[in-house]
A and B are shown apart, each in its own frame.
Chain A
Amino acid sequence: DAGVIQSPRHEVTEMGQEVTLRCKPISGHDYLFWYRQTMMRGLELLIYFNNNVPIDDSGMPEDRFSAKMPNASFSTLKIQPSEPRDSAVYFCAITGLAGAEQYFGPGTRLTVT
């Protein structure tokens, strides 16, 4: 988990509510990734940024999902409105160089009831 802080660690919300997940990379990086992990589908890439610019958001499941990276030290993933099928663990990951290994945060476990 070194290098990436995610908050909250756990989030329980009701269907229809807005959810905002936060990622704060500590160390230097060029790329930031958002992943979703479920038992059925494993890890799935949602979106990634290069130097704060969104490069590929083809993994974002629906328009209900949006992500921003206003600066190199902060990124958010927002779900509005949330649905029970959004329940998963959401990870933020960073890498410094193209093709280099990724460093994952501890994840946010989201439960939508």
Chain B
Amino acid sequence: KNQVEQSPQSLIILEGKNCTLQCNYTVSPFSNLRWYKQDTGRGPVSLTIMTFSENTKSNGRYTATLDADTKQSSLHITASQLSDSASYICVVSVYGGSQGNLIFGKGTKLSVKP
């Protein structure tokens, strides 16, 4: 069964600290993996999209990594800011699937405290 598991479910860190969020998937065949940021009361916003051949991709202070062999991805946030408080959702696309064949994780809720 195609699944995406994220950990931890929630995380509290102090402003300025780094953190890493994890995503494990069992989706096959794999097409791409996406990380979204969702602020409270808003829709998800794309941070990165990585294909099978990409190991790492950065977007400002956000760096995503992908290990297609172990089917794991991580999202690293450097020098966290209060505005990083949000839910982070990992999404995996099935290769050859329809446009709707995206498997969503349930997200990690990050709280950055001053």
Query: Which chain A residues have a beta carbon within 8 Å of chain B's beta carbons?
Result: 1, 4, 31, 33, 41-45, 48, 50, 55-56, 59, 91, 93, 95, 98-99, 101-107
Asked whether B79 is an interface residue with its Cβ less than 8 Å from the other chain, the reply is no
Contact A91 B100 (CB under 8 A): no
Contact A55 B99 (CB under 8 A): yes
Contact A42 B106 (CB under 8 A): yes
Give residues of chain B (92-114) contacting chain A, Cβ–Cβ below 8 Å.
93, 98-100, 102, 104-107
Contact A99 B42 (CB under 8 A): no
Q: How far is the CB of A2 from chain B (nearest CB, A)?
A: 9
Contact A107 B42 (CB under 8 A): yes
**How distant is the Cα of A103 from the Cα of B46 in the complex, in angstroms?**
8
Asked whether B22 is an interface residue with its Cβ less than 8 Å from the other chain, the reply is no
Contact A42 B31 (CB under 8 A): no
Q: How far is the CB of A48 from chain B (nearest CB, A)?
A: 5
Residue of A nearest to B46 (CB): A101
Chain A's interface: helix, strand, loop or mixed, by majority?
A: strand
Q: How far is the CB of B30 from chain A (nearest CB, A)?
A: 13
Query: Which chain B residues have a beta carbon within 8 Å of chain A's beta carbons?
Result: 31-32, 34, 41-46, 49, 89, 93, 98-100, 102, 104-107
Contact A95 B43 (CB under 8 A): no
Residue of B nearest to A100 (CB): B49
Residue of B nearest to A39 (CB): B106
Contact B46 A56 (CB under 8 A): no
**How distant is the Cα of A7 from the Cα of B42 in the complex, in angstroms?**
13
Contacts A102-B46, A105-B43 known; A42 to B104 CB distance under 8 Å?
A: yes
Contacts A48-B99, A95-B99 known; A104 to B45 CB distance under 8 Å?
A: yes
Contact A1 B98 (CB under 8 A): no
**How distant is the Cα of A91 from the Cα of B104 in the complex, in angstroms?**
14
Contacts A91-B43, A105-B43, A107-B42 known; A99 to B93 CB distance under 8 Å?
A: yes
- Choose among B31, B44, B49, B98 the residue that contacts A43 (Cβ–Cβ < 8 A): B44
Contact B100 A45 (CB under 8 A): yes
**How distant is the Cα of A42 from the Cα of B32 in the complex, in angstroms?**
20
Contact A43 B89 (CB under 8 A): yes
